Amino acid sequence: MREIGIETEFITLGQLLKMTDTISSGGMAKWFLSEHEVYVNGEAENRRGKKLRPEDTVSIPEVGEFRIVVAEGMNFDAD
């Protein structure tokens, strides 16, 4: 499983697809999700705007598995 470090509170599923080179442009996200199975935390997901937060996992068959993590030096805890 590959870790994807984010510097914001969340990223969208469409952004993750682009970051992982699954798609070459953001405009392809809707098409990709309509033609391919993608799982977020074990459940099928087809919304490109789905918010992914640290500890979420994404599985894209034939591409790979990814876990969202907080980028080093970042802290989003509301202590």
Pairing status of strand 43-44 against strand 39-40 = antiparallel
Q: Looking at residue 22, which CATH number applies to its domain?
A: 3.10.290.10
Domain assignment of residue 52, yes or no: yes
Residue ranges making up the domain that contains 40: 2-70
Q: What are the tens digits of pLDDT across the range 21-75?
A: 999 998 899 999 999 999 999 999 999 999 999 999 999 999 999 999 998 765 5
How many independent structural domains does the chain possess? 1
* Integer Cα distance of 27 and 18 in angstroms: 10
Domain assignment of residue 79, yes or no: no
Confidence band of 79 (pLDDT split at 50, 70, 90): very low
Domain assignment of residue 60, yes or no: yes
State the pLDDT at residue 74. 56
State the pLDDT at residue 71. 87
